[in-house]
A = this chain, B = another copy of it.
């Protein structure tokens, strides 16, 4: 993007990272995916590791993540991103490898891969976008859908008795000794974005330690799936998702590294 000339005396204090392509993103207005992409690439830019970073895109709305994040990327089968990342990291152990996955991808069909990848302590970063719904396929129930929440496949609201409980997979994998750094973040307001960026930075740096898996859950929105405006969706998220999925660190390296 060409930037217009600006009165002298001004300097750029924020521009999109070079590692984000200029391709317009296909996400719905207000969808959190775009922010997370950008933050990831900001860190890649800052750490100057574009040439060493390999990403894995999931099947979900972010299936086209590789169109936006300007690093080498592979597109994995639904739920298998961490297996694909394992394959990459094992043969290229000095690269920075990350997966980017939705809640259907990571916490439903990919549960086995998620648990075992973390249990092996694969030295990768798993970025997990929890928007409580299957965005891409049109708003079906996800494992993380809240009780009572209506989706196209829980038209009367999710009921625990038949559909089970919201799955806090991040809490589960925190228990695994292979997990090095586990944190839950959001992107609904500027400071949340700042915190996410710190977490991503840490996670990439930890990857050099080869001491285990870094896992960042981002509690996010899906205005389309939730049938809300972006603002409504963020508000609803704060009021309903955050109590179930409280933000903050679940595990930091000091706890496991001595």
**When each residue 111-142 of chain A gets 1 if its CB lies under 8 Å from chain B and 0 otherwise, what string results?**
11001100111000000000000000000000
**When each residue 78-113 of chain A gets 1 if its CB lies under 8 Å from chain B and 0 otherwise, what string results?**
000000000000000000000000000000111110
CB < 8 Å: which of B111, B168, B178 contacts A112? B111
- Does A250 sit within 8 A of B, measured CB to CB? no
Q: Are B112 and A164 in contact (CB under 8 A)?
A: no
Q: Are B112 and A163 in contact (CB under 8 A)?
A: no
Query: In the docked arrangement, what's the CA distance between A116 and B167, Å?
Result: 9
CB < 8 Å: which of B110, B119, B172 contacts A143? B119
What 15 new A-B contacts, CB under 8 Å, besides A115-B167, A175-B175?
A: A111-B111, A111-B112, A112-B112, A115-B115, A116-B143, A119-B143, A119-B167, A120-B162, A120-B163, A120-B164, A121-B161, A164-B178, A165-B176, A167-B176, A172-B172
Q: Which residues of A contact B (CB under 8 A)?
A: 108-112, 115-116, 119-121, 143, 160-165, 167-168, 171-172, 175-178
The 6 nearest A-B residue pairs measured at CB: A120-B164, A111-B112, A112-B112, A165-B177, A119-B164, A111-B115
